[in-house]
């Protein structure tokens, strides 16, 4: 069996560094395995803007064609757009060539199945069986298979969002909106979407050449220059995304970049007032309880899932939830074609909220509770994950223990979550409390336990 130890393989896809795990030979092997495993007559393919994307997609497309299937290529588009087109076109499958928030020297396959859902663990296992066997059918010579380049099909994604929000109310406001797309997959489609909403669009880093001018992950620290521009330019609101545009961060004229943890609760404030009944919302175990407080204000309940979009979506389906999300800025609205983390859906909902409330974003933000959270990480190499869990467990007492995704300990005033990342060779530690003092106590005890 071959060594794929340098790759990150999970429900978040197959990713690695170019020439250090995710090399042309490995790319071809995974491409052939996917093409062999999937049914249907065509596959929807899209990618982000990183320089390796073109050759990776070319290898992928070749494998799909050799398996007797056609390719519907959307070009450089957001991850949620590929998922939405798979759904709208009733395709059997799709692939996104993107390493999301990872640095430029990484790339990945994100595999999409029916209805635009990411592969489940069972489907990933099926691909891995074929990869490990390394035996594939002979190439099919079929004059009918082709690559059809159709960027306009991306509009199917936008149409499903426009049906979900009050477009006329937003257009009347003529908002001035900044978008920082990190020169990634959202560089063209997000400005187009904002123009459809009648916004005056200010573009920053919207040249999809794959040269990321800031760190790929849109954290507050990465958005210092973007924040300064939003504060000084007179725009009504700003948005920033990661290279594949599934994560969203909000920027306000007074505060600049907000924590990515506020994206989901702001979106919830838009949809909950119009929901009839007791809403169920699914969040992953690492997401802030700010969203819990918003949901509970409307008589609803929050269900926690494992981290990872596929896990959140499955929990939403199982529990018939009306909304979901992840604290990394991932908004999941089941009424939009993408039914996954979708920055464009978040943008639409938040502009809808501003228009319906007739208030600036800073005034709306003031309604939300303060956030006391710390996210840290350390290299996993050389350390057994069970030893990390045992060290944390020994340092705390808690009756609220969850092991569905790593280790999560909770109290009435806060929680700590320790887990290996799905997308990087690291261990993540996230803690939250209802005050800075209590958060510091949790962090101090965690550091003491791990040392």
Alpha helices, DSSP H only, in 285-384? Answer: 290-297, 309-319, 343-357, 361-365
Tell me the pLDDT tens digit for each residue of 59-69. Answer: 999 999 999 99
Is the pLDDT reported for residue 55 higher than 60? yes
The b/e string for 312-324 (b: 16+ C-beta within 10 A; e otherwise) is bbbbbeeeebbbb
CB atoms within 10 A of CB 274: 9
pLDDT at 317 > cutoff 60: yes
Domain boundaries, the chain: 8-155, 165-365, 372-450
- Token duo for residue 433: 């409390």
pLDDT at residue 1 greater than cutoff 60: no
Residue-averaged pLDDT of the chain: 94
List 10's β-bridge partners, or say none. 13
pLDDT in tens, 376-397: 888 877 678 898 899 999 999 8
Specify the fold of 372-450.
TATA-Binding Protein (3.30.310)
Q: Between helices 189-196 and 343-357, what is the axis angle to 10°?
A: 20
Per-residue pLDDT band at 12 (split at 50, 70, 90): confident
Q: What is the pLDDT of residues 29-38, one digit of tens each?
A: 999 999 999 9
Confidence grade of residue 125 (pLDDT, cut at 50, 70, 90) = very high
Alpha carbons 277 and 301: distance in angstroms, whole number: 11
In this structure, the strands spanning 176-180 and 200-204 are parallel
Q: Do the Cβ atoms of 278 and 301 come closer than 8 Å?
A: yes
The residues carrying an active-site annotation are 100
CATH architecture of 165-365: 3-Layer(aba) Sandwich (3.40)
Q: Which fold has domain 8-155?
A: Alpha-D-Glucose-1,6-Bisphosphate; Chain A, domain 3 (3.40.120)
* 8-155 and 165-365 in the same fold: yes
pLDDT band at 205 (very low <50, low <70, confident <90, very high): very high
Query: Is the per-residue pLDDT at 367 higher than 60?
Result: yes
Mean pLDDT to the nearest integer, 255-272? 98
Assess whether pLDDT exceeds 60 at residue 99: yes
Specify the pLDDT at position 434. Answer: 95
- The arithmetic mean of pLDDT across residues 7-15, rounded, is 88
DSSP β-ladder status, 237-241 and 176-180: parallel
Rounded to a whole number, what is the distance in angstroms from the first to the last CA of the chain? 37
Q: Does the pLDDT value for residue 207 go beyond 60?
A: yes
């Amino acid at each position: 069996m071959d060594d794929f130890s340098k790759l990150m393989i999970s429900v978040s896809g197959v990713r690695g560094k170019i020439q250090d795990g995710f090399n042309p030979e490995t790319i071809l092997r995974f491409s052939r395995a996917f093409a062999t495993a999937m049914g249907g007559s065509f596959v929807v393919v899209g990618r982000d803007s990183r320089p390796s994307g073109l050759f990776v997609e070319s290898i992928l497309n070749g494998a799909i064609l050799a398996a007797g299937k056609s390719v519907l290529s959307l070009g450089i588009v957001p991850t949620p757009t590929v998922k939405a087109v798979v759904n709208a076109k009733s395709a059997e499958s799709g692939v996104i060539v993107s390493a999301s928030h990872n640095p430029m020297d990484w790339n990945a396959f994100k595999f999409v199945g029916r209805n635009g859902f990411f592969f489940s663990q069972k489907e990933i296992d099926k691909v891995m069986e074929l990869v490990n066997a390394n035996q594939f059918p002979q190439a099919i010579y079929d004059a009918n298979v082709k690559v059809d380049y159709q960027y306009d099909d991306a509009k199917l994604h936008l149409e499903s969002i426009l049906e979900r929000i009050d477009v006329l109310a937003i257009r009347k406001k003529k908002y001035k909106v900044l978008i920082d797309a990190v020169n990634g997959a959202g560089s063209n489609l997000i400005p187009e979407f904002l123009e459809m909403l009648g916004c005056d669009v200010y573009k920053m880093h919207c040249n999809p050449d794959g040269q990321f001018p800031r760190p790929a992950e849109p954290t507050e620290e990465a958005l210092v220059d973007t924040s300064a521009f939003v504060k000084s330019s007179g725009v009504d609101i700003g948005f920033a995304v990661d290279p594949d545009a599934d994560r969203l961060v909000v920027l306000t004229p007074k505060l600049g970049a907000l924590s990515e943890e506020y994206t989901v609760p702001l979106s919830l404030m838009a949809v909950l007032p119009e929901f009839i009944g007791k809403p169920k919302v699914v969040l992953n175990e690492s997401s802030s309880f700010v969203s819990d407080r918003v949901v509970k204000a409307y008589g609803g309940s929050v269900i926690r899932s494992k981290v990872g979009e596929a896990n959140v979506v499955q929990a939403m389906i199982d529990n018939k939830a009306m909304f979901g999300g992840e604290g990394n800025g991932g908004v999941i609205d089941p009424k939009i074609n993408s039914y996954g983390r979708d920055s464009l859906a978040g943008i639409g909902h938040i502009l809808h909220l501003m228009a319906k409330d007739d208030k600036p974003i800073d005034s709306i933000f003031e309604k939300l509770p303060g956030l006391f959270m710390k996210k840290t990480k350390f290299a996993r190499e050389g350390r057994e994950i069970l030893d990390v869990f045992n060290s944390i467990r020994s340092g705390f007492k808690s009756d609220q223990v969850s092991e569905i995704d790593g280790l999560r300990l909770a109290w009435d005033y806060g929680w700590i979550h320790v887990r290996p990342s799905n997308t990087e060779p690291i261990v993540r530690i996230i803690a939250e409390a209802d005050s800075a003092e209590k958060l510091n106590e949790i962090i101090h005890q965690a550091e003491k336990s791990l040392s």
